[in-house]
Amino acid sequence: MTDSKAQLAGLLGEAKSIVGFTGAGISTECGIPDFRSPGGFWTRYKPIEFKEFTASAEIRREAWRRYFAIREAVEKAVPGRGHRALARMVEAGHMRRIITQNIDNLHQLSGVPEAQIIELHGNGSYARCLSCGARHELSWVREIFEAVGDPPDCPQCGGLVKSATISFGQAMPELEMQQAREAIANCDLMLALGSSLVVQPAAHFTLTAKRYGAKLVIINREPTGYDAYADLVVHDDIGDVMQGLGFE
Ligand code: NAD
């Protein structure tokens, strides 16, 4: 076992209440490209801001076209080694909550109960009406989009229908933000995996954990702006790092 892996095993073994904090990097080995690594789907397109989505029918068509393109990779994906390790930690009672920036539903698919997952940026496996909040299935949106070339409006109130994810410029979900703060206030270690820690306010939760006196571990292939605050930083592949720690 490498030195950093032995240190990680020590910190995880000592902790009584761990909170996981995950980003797109935990899902790259599952075939879903992350946001910032070079060459990926996302580097080719400038993200669509929330106000652009609500202002323009053409932008909404483009948003849905992109969405259905990325869904093909997401729908094929199964949980990876990182997801499985976290699921075992939850099952064993070491990890109370997983706060995720991901929208790919892979923590749920790895067997973590819904109540223990906090999705800061929503979930991409369904859609919602922006006006009344009604849930709509993607298959229904897609069928209409492909038939008429436009996404449907909400049949209940006529509002705009958007994937149930949080876009840049869209308000953060209040309940999930509150749940995340509570989870962090009650943890003694935050394990952050696969996030560039650039997207705010989510990234700042690593510092919130430190302020509450918790230890902070960051596992990410590349350096992040929060590495200096961490008790342990491992710049390596998440699956390789989490394998062999007894959480298979
Ligand atoms: P990001 O792309 O900004 O950062 C991902 C980080 O993970 C990078 O620094 C990269 O070096 C690292 N990484 C990639 N593969 C890794 C691996 N196997 N092992 C270790 N490190 C690895 O992602 P972010 O910080 O989550 O922010 C992007 C935003 O885009 C989030 O808000 C998220 O909602 C969204 N997004 C989600 C998904 C998803 O749901 N899977 C995918 C892309 C983007």
Domains of the chain, first to last: 1-32+78-121+172-248 (3.40.50.1220), 33-76+123-165 (3.30.1600.10)
CA–centroid distance, 199 to ligand 1, in Å, is 10
Q: What is the mean predicted confidence (pLDDT) over 216-232?
A: 97
Q: Is the pLDDT of residue 39 over 70?
A: no
Residue 42 confidence class, pLDDT cut points 50, 70, 90:
low
Q: Catalytic one among 121, 136, 204, 235?
A: 121
pLDDT value, residue 196: 94
CA–centroid distance, 126 to ligand 1, in Å, is 21
What Å distances lie between residue 211 and 5, 171, 188, 204, CA to CA?
25, 25, 11, 11
CA–centroid distance, 33 to ligand 1, in Å, is 8
Q: What is the mean predicted confidence (pLDDT) over 57-63?
A: 97
> Whole-number mean pLDDT of the chain?
94
Alpha helices in 130-245 (DSSP H): 138-148, 174-185, 205-211, 238-242
Cβ(82)–Cβ(193) below 8 Å: yes
pLDDT value, residue 193: 98
Question: Which residue has the least CA distance to atom 30 on ligand 1?
Answer: 35
Catalytic, 136? Answer no
Using DSSP bridges, classify how beta strands 95-100 and 117-119 pair: parallel, antiparallel or unpaired: parallel
**Which residues contact ligand 1 via a Cβ below 6 A?**
23-25, 27-29, 32, 34-37, 101-104, 121, 194-196, 198-199, 220-222, 237-238
pLDDT value, residue 217: 98
Q: What is the mean predicted confidence (pLDDT) over 101-129?
A: 97
- The DSSP call for residue 153 is B
DSSP three-state, residue 219: strand
Q: What is the mean predicted confidence (pLDDT) over 222-246?
A: 95
